[in-house]
Amino acid sequence: MSLTKSPQTETGSTAAPPTAARPPGGRYALRAAGLLGAVLLLCVLLALSLAVGAKPLSLNEAWRGLTDSASPEYTVVHEMRLPRTLLGLMAGTALGLAGGVMQALTRNPLADPGLLGINAGAAAAVVSAISFLGITSFTGYVWFAFAGTGAVSVLVYVVGGGRGATPARLALGGAALNAALFSYVNAVQLLDTASLDKMRFWTVGSLAGAHADTAQKVVWFILLGVLLALALARPLNALALGDDSAQALGAHPARTRAGGMLAVTLLCGAATAACGPIVFVGLMVPHMVRTLTGPDMRWVLPYCAVLAPVLLLGADVLGRVLARPSELQVGIVTAVLGGPFFLYFVRHRKVVRA
Amino acid sequence: MSVIRTAGGRSVAFRPRALAVGLGCLVVAAVASVFAIGSGSGDYPMTTGQVLDTLLGSGNPADEFIVNDIRLPRVVTALLVGAALALGGAVFQSVVRNPLGSPDVLGFTHGAATGALTVIVVFGGGSLALACGAVAGGLATGLLIYGLAWRQGVHGYRLVLIGIGITAILTGVNGYLLTRAQITEAARAVLWMTGSLDGRGWDDAVPLLIAMAVLLPVVLLGCARAMRMLEMGDDAAFALGVPVERIRLTVLAAAVLLVSFGAAAAGPVAFVALTAPQVARRMTKAPGPNLLPSLCTGAALLVIADLAAQRAFSGHQLPVGVITGVLGGGYLVWLLATERKAGRI
């Protein structure tokens, strides 16, 4: 990996804010090179996700399937693996960024869209739409997902104590909302066995049902959310100093919070509507990233955007390998991988005094 | 606090208001039970007089069959499950010192559900095996959480956060088990996870009754006083001669068992463990864990909820967990809003 200063690679590889003031010495180059490395890692995972599955392909075959419409692999790659991979890419980016923004916004290291009940809010809204209103198309229920996400993120923020929330208090409020919403989801499924069959797969969090058009429909929402989140990097940095200092620096705390909520709503709502509730991705990735980059959001957010899909696609590929010839849904793999990480974090870091 | 002293130098202290609340709840529970037996599942309405006669042993044979074999076991199960879940919840909320620290939120019921789901999906077992699975799952989860939260003692928020983490993992595992099930098994599993009293017989009530006969004295007589001192803080309790960790381990183990046996009988009925102690506390206006009033409140709550579940939609019976879930969810949001202002969460 090159350690020379290469600002082009950094701005070229992601939509990172190009205004980053250059810190002294080689840190900037190191971080840029690290980001480039993360992008390369993402490329490897994308290739793996195309190649691994019920019918394993060599990378060569996968490439032929991708590009040559006459090859025997074309159908498998284009009908199944490609939509799934793209959806994993988008959902991963969305959840990672949402986690990063939420942790900064609440100043809370335990914030995660899954743990705080925000995905559950989307799930409850979607399940209602499917069961009571008979809406089965993605474009139909995605709006319900947004509504549920938005409502719960405001609720959990207010309930958790707004700016004065301690990590544990926010997590506990989120867990309680989670319990309430999933008990509602269970109840609805019970009263409507026909949709239980459809929804029991959706409520675990899976990329398997991805169709080409799901990825197409979700892409604009996520793109908008990604741009908004990245644009918030600088104001979020200011917010980390406290409201008064942020204001003195010319930032608008209220506007930043509203923008952050909107970004989280777009990102989580779209990702959850497309894949079901996936937990822990938004928790783990920002933590790992901060150990690499430090607290500067201008670096944290782009790294999250690249490394979260690495994690999600990795979990998805792992799920396909582990349970051959069937597969483990990605939401289960992230829960089982992320849980121990969370437990380690609670035990060994000073999140909780006592 | 009133004190009765006997001639032998022994004394019993009690709060008149708490006692009144407990008795009041028992009366409500009894009235609701009689009403539930009179109008309960199936088309065989009975008058209150008939029900009372039959319960006292002087009814006609048809009534006796309906009451003793069909409706009484269901009502008794409801009373016991409500009491067990509520007492477990009261213990947890007291130890965690947080109104939200109930077994539903901390993952114990999820563990019981994992055990039961494993039995349903992997072994296709009957109701006895299912109950054993639920108890085993709840206990294993309890041990795991306690072990992970232990660092020179188990305390407050660390227990909560570990519980939340375990809950997230178990939710994934439970979801996976559901996807592996056939659709009929999946429906049975979801029904169990929601919590239902439909078709409960003496087989379901008796194990719970035995468990409670053992565990209630341990908690109520053995530990209640120490738990009140624990609420003042570990240091204060220790200074007053309470073996802090031993009491905590004992009551937590008892609470996990109560909740698991309750879940084994009727499924992890949502939010009874969370709401009953809170309702009881508001009625007694007393500090401390309020164990006995919580127990009575829980029993009354579940019988009434089950009655509502049977009669809310005519011709269509809902599982009781749907009612408690919806009501409990609403109550929870209200609790979150008000308790936060008071700074207790």
Closest residue of B to A179, CA-based?
Answer: B105
- Average pLDDT of A265-277? 87
pTM, 2 dp: 0.82
* Residue B238 belongs to a domain: yes
CA distance A179 to chain B (A): 6
pLDDT over 50 at A265, yes or no: yes
B60 φ/ψ angles, rounded to the nearest 5 degrees: -80, 160
Which residue in the set B167, B175, B333 is minimally distant from A175, CB to CB? Answer: B167
What number of residues does chain B have?
345
Residue B93 contacts A where some CB pair is shorter than 8 Å: no
Question: DSSP characters for A231-269?
Answer: HTHHHHHHHTT-HHHHHHTT--HHHHHHHHHHHHHHHHH
Q: Phi, psi (5° rounding) for residue B265?
A: -80, -40
pLDDT beneath 50, residues of chain B: none
CA distance A195 to chain B (A): 11
pLDDT number for residue A8? 41
Residue B5 dihedral angles phi and psi, to the nearest 5°: -110, 135
Q: B306-318: per-residue pLDDT in tens?
A: 988 887 766 667 8
Report whether pLDDT(A63) > 70: yes
ipTM above 0.90, yes or no: no
Check residue B11 and report its DSSP letter: E
pLDDT of residue A309: 94
CB contact under 8 A, A354 and B157: yes
Size of interface A-B (CB pairs under 8 A): 159
CB contact under 8 A, A173 and B100: yes
Assess if residue B10 is contained within a domain.
no
The pLDDT, as a whole number, for residue A318 is 92
Does the residue B153 lie in any domain?
yes
What pLDDT score does A59 carry? 81
CATH label of the domain that carries residue B81:
1.10.3470.10
- The residue type found at A329 is Q
**What whole-number distance in Å separates Cα of residue B321 and Cα of residue B340?**
27
B148–A347 C-beta distance less than 8 A: yes
Contact B105 A176 (CB under 8 A): yes
Residue A49's contacts (CB-CB under 8 Å, 6 or more residues apart) are: A81, A84, A85, A88, A313, A316, A317
Average of per-residue pLDDT across A72-95: 87
Biggest distance spanned by C-alpha atoms of chain B: 66
Structural domains in chain A plus CATH codes:
74-346 (1.10.3470.10)
Cα torsion A315, A320, A322, A327: sign: positive
Residue B48, domain member (yes or no)? no
pLDDT tens string A307-321: 999 999 999 999 888
Lowest mean pLDDT among A17-21, A148-152, B262-266: A17-21
Q: Is B167 on the interface with A (CB under 8 A)?
A: yes
Residue of A346 and A35 predicted with greater confidence: A35
Q: How far apart are CA B335 and CA B279, in angstroms?
A: 11
Q: Do A176 and B336 touch (CB under 8 A)?
A: yes
Q: Do A339 and B165 touch (CB under 8 A)?
A: yes
Task: Give the pLDDT confidence of A193-227 residue by residue, as tens digits.
Answer: 676 776 777 777 777 766 667 778 888 999 999 99
Burial class (CB in 10 A: 0-12, 13-18, 19+), B230: buried
Written as one string, the DSSP assignment of B25-79 is HHHHHHHHHHHHHHH-SSS----HHHHHHHHTT-S-HHHHIIIIIIIHHHHHHHH
Whether B101 is in a domain gets the answer: yes
For residue A163, name the pLDDT band (cuts at 50, 70, 90): low
Please state the domain count of chain B.
Answer: 1
Tokens of A130: 């499917």
Question: Stretch A233-252: mean pLDDT, rounded?
Answer: 84
pLDDT number for residue A75: 79
Q: How close A335 gets to chain B, by Cα (Å)?
A: 5
What residue has token string 């409990």? B328
Which of A130-144, A162-176, A265-279 is predicted least confidently? A162-176
- Within 8 A of B244 by CB-CB distance, chain A residues are none
Q: Is the predicted pLDDT of residue A9 greater than 50, yes or no?
A: no
Q: Which of A59-68, A77-86, B106-115, B209-218 has the highest mean pLDDT?
A: B209-218
Q: Is residue A15 very low, low, confident or very high in pLDDT (cuts 50, 70, 90)?
A: very low
Beta bridge partner(s), residue B13: B3
**3-class DSSP assignment, residue A193:** helix
Q: Which of B162, B270, B337 sits opposite A343 (nearest CB)?
A: B162
Range of the domain at B189: 26-36+71-310
